[in-house]
Amino acid sequence: MFESDEDVEDRRELSDRFSELARVLAPRGVPWTAERLVMSAQRSTPHAEAAGVTVLSRGVGRQTVGGTSDLAYRVDHWQYTTGEGPCLDAARRRDHIVWVDDLSIDRRWPKFARQAVRDVGVRGMFSVPLHLADESPAALNFYATRPHVLSNDDLGVGAVFATFVALALDAQLARRESTQLRTALETNRQIGTAVGILMARGTLTSAQAFEQLRQASMTTNRKLHDVALDVVDTGELVNPPKSGWHT
C-alpha cells in the first residue's frame, strides 16, 4: 500500500509539531512555562491564529494566561463580560473539547458570538479542558478568524499540548506558593525577633511588645514587617507610640 503525497506531507507536518513540543520541553536551563507552551501550541496548530488559557480561579476570578496575541484577550473579554462561550463551557464541564466551526451561525452562545464576530472578527474556536491540581476550571483555547479551517488534526495537537500546559500551570502555582510561604516565614521570623528585642529592653510581655510594634506601624503608616526589620537592625523602635507601654 502506497502513501499519497498528501499523506506524506500530513505525516511530516505532524512530526514537525511534536518536534516543536520536544524542543520546548527539552532542558536548557530555562523552565518550560505555561506561556512558552501556549506559544508553541499555537505555532504547532497551523490553522489557529492565536491561543491562550482561560482560568476560573476562586481567588482571582476569570483570567486569560499566556495569550499569544491581542485576539485571545479580546475574545476572552467578551466571554467574561457575557458570561458565556466555548472557553467557559470547556473549563466548567471538563469532559470534552468544545469546537465551533463558525461563530456567525452558531446559536449556542448568542450574546458572546454576536460581540466576538462583530468586534474581534473571530469565527472558529476550540477549547480543550485542563485538569489542574487545585481543581480550578481551566481550558486551552485556539482561535481563527476564518470559518471551517480548524481540523481534527488541530484538535489532536491541541489536546496533547493541553496536558503539558496543565502541568506547567501546576508547577508555576507550586513555585509561587513556595515563594509566598518563604516570604511569610521570613516576615514572621523578623517580627518574632523584634518582639524578643523589645521584651529584652523592657519589662514587657510578648503581647505588649507586639502591640508596640503594631501601634508604631499604624502611627508611621508603614508595614508591620518594615517596622520590625528596623528594630532588628537598630535595636530601637523608631517613633514609639506615645501611649501604652514604652521601652
Question: If we measure between CA atoms, which residue out of 7, 12, 9, 22 comes closest to residue 164?
Answer: 22
Least confident of 32-36, 169-173, 180-184: 180-184
| Sheet of 61-65, strands arranged across | 61-65, 50-57, 137-144, 124-131, 98-100
Sorted by where each starts, the structural domains of the chain and their CATH numbers stand as 5-177 (3.30.450.40), 179-234 (1.10.10.10)
Q: Is the pLDDT of residue 11 over 90?
A: no
Q: Which segments of the chain does DSSP mark as H helices, in order?
A: 5-25, 34-44, 70-82, 86-93, 110-115, 152-201, 206-220, 224-234
* Residues 119 and 68: beta-carbon distance below 8 Å: no
CA distances in angstroms from 145 to 97, 121, 148, 150, 177, listed in the order given: 19, 6, 10, 10, 38
CA distances in angstroms from 98 to 52, 67, 76, 201, listed in the order given: 15, 18, 15, 66
Least confident of 4-18, 76-90, 210-224: 4-18
C-alpha cell belonging to residue 7 = 499523506
186-229 pLDDT, tens per residue? 666 777 777 777 777 777 787 877 787 778 878 888 777 777 77
Q: What is the mean pLDDT of residues 133-144?
A: 92
The better pLDDT of the pair 209, 29 is held by: 209
- At residue 1, the pLDDT reads 40
pLDDT band (50, 70, 90) for residue 18 = low
Alpha carbon 103 to chain centroid, angstroms: 26
Amino acid (one-letter) located at 232: V
pLDDT over 90, % of the chain: 36
- At residue 128, the pLDDT reads 94
